[in-house]
Amino acid sequence: MPEFQQTDYLVVGSGIAGLWYALRVSSHGSVLVITKKNDAESATNYAQGGIAAAVAEDDSPERHANDTTIAGMGLAHPDVVKMVTESGPGLVRELYEIGVHFSTYLDAKGRRRFDLGREGGHHRRRILHAADYTGMEIERGLLQAVRATGRVRVSEEHFAVDLLVGSDGCCLGAGVLNTVSGELGAVRARATMLATGGVGQAYLHTTNPQIATGDGIAMGFRAGARVANMEFVQFHPTSLYGSDVGGRAFLVTEALRGEGALLRTSDGQPFMGKYHPDGALAPRDVVARSAHAEMRARGDEYVLLDATHLPPSRLRERFPNVYRNCLEHGIDMTCQPIPVVPAAHYACGGLQVNDWGETSLPGLFAAGECACSGLHGANRLASNSLLEALVFADRAARRAAVVRRTAACGSECGSAGRPVSGSEATAVEEVRRAVRELMWHEAGIVRRDTGLRKAAERLGELENRFLAAPDHGSVQWLETRNTLTVARLVVACARRRPESRGLHYNEDHPVLNESLVHDTVLTQDEMDDGSEQD
């Protein structure tokens, strides 16, 4: 990549949101997609369960909207829920038509149907999937479609450092680090899309890939964009205990419970029935807290996910990825229960966007996990994340195509970064580890006022010390800076919500507070003036 260049549309991130947006705007101008790893490395790639849409004859967008609203615990925006659930069926069929191979079957009349799964919180089978590697298949199909246009450039190993903002407060593009050469340059753009994924690496245990360090949220926040609902971090109830696959815990898809697998304590007793009428298919926040409660009460390190009563051939056919990974860890899921633990999985909060994917910073769009659209409210319904990314990327592309802002000149981005020394790398890793442990223990599945206060104070100390050290421009340093920012945002938002709602559970405030039926919105000015509160 040249040191300075210009494009019509800059896209940061190569998951479903970034690639669908790039595909849609490619007919309106030049498109550059930058990604800090390779083009297929994204949270999308690891999504097993699927994408939710009301395509079955016994289903409807209204039913899907109702399930989404119930899961959102009073904070899901009705207009956004309606828009997304109504847009879903058409867009997933477009995905299928461009070459994403969802699992299908022939019905009794010889008609091809989607093989739909069911997951927690859904009262119909509406999860389109490709066996249990749906995200990988969507990523493959979209990359193929994007490359086929001949109008989209993808630059791998390029890290977006900070946004360029003009004197009029508009986003003009981004400063970009070539992580191979160490060159620091700039890309100026008419419209910039952040599709950088979530914040899972801010926690000690997460199903997210190592790239999920909150980069887009942190960049947007530093540039002045509003963030919302960062307190609502979803913990997936079933990650494989003791697993480490490239820096992440292996996720055991919720679809396995949709097929009838049960959650049991270490002595084999089913426990979800005493927590929720939907049992193992209750919403994720309930299941994760229930598993956490059982582990804490019994002193166990895991609970068991038992699918041994299901047909072995069906398990191997429907869940080849889970089956293979469990075998690699010495577990045959057809005859042994799987030890599982909750792990940080999805951020419902992020850069606040309107229903066209626009942030509060003109010229800056966001979609996918780094955005807060209002769809999820206080708790994401299973498999709604890929749907939300698809719908908002599509709408953002339509809006960006009619924006006639000139890609104005921004200030230059400075000199190239230098290689990081061994001692500096160790210091950075120590800070990152401290953040992850702090967030896991004090701002995790269950929280308390004292813990949140401790986390806020300690994160402030870590950030001050970290930023006072020399900025050597390494990817590790930049990611750690971003992780510190998003960790502080999670804690700050949590302290502004003295209640328990959805994914935010505070033992000091265990009930709903009806005066808090609103989004938690933060700006840079509010963080700078120290207006955090309990």
Which one, of 227, 217, 224, lies nearest residue 165 by Cα? Answer: 224
Give burial (CB, 10 Å; 0-12/13-18/19+) of 402: exposed
- Neighbour count for residue 296 (Cβ, 10 Å): 11
CB of 160 closer than 8 Å to CB of 213: no
DSSP state letters, 290-316: HHHHHHHHHT-S-EEEE-TTS-HHHHH
Amino acid at 457: E
Q: Are 430 and 178 in contact (CB under 8 A)?
A: no
Strands 51-52 and 338-347: unpaired
Distance CA 477, CA 466 (A): 9
Tokens 């229930």 found at:
290
Please report, for residues 241, 243, 252, 270, 317, the alpha-carbon distance to residue 339 in angstroms, rounded to integers and kept in the order given: 5, 10, 10, 14, 21
Both structure tokens of 37:
């790893």
Active site residue 284: yes
Give the chain's largest Cα–Cα span: 69
Beta strands in 152-282 (DSSP E): 152-155, 158-165, 171-178, 184-194, 227-228, 233-240, 262-264
Residues 6+ apart with CB under 8 A from 481: 218, 466, 467
Strand (E) positions, 102-151? 104-106, 112-114, 127-128
Cα within 13 Å of Cα(246), Cβ side: 11
- Whether the CB-CB separation of 146 and 138 falls below 8 Å is answered with no
Contact residues for 426 (Cβ-Cβ < 8 A; gap 6+)? none
Closest to 318 (Cα-Cα) out of 489, 178, 127: 127
Helix H or strand E segment including 430: helix 422-442
> Which tokens hold the place of 263?
């959650």
118, 188, 248, 284: which is the annotated catalytic residue? 284
Q: How far apart are CA 40 and CA 136, in angstroms?
A: 8
Cα separation, 230 vs 348, whole angstroms:
7
Residues identified as active-site: 284
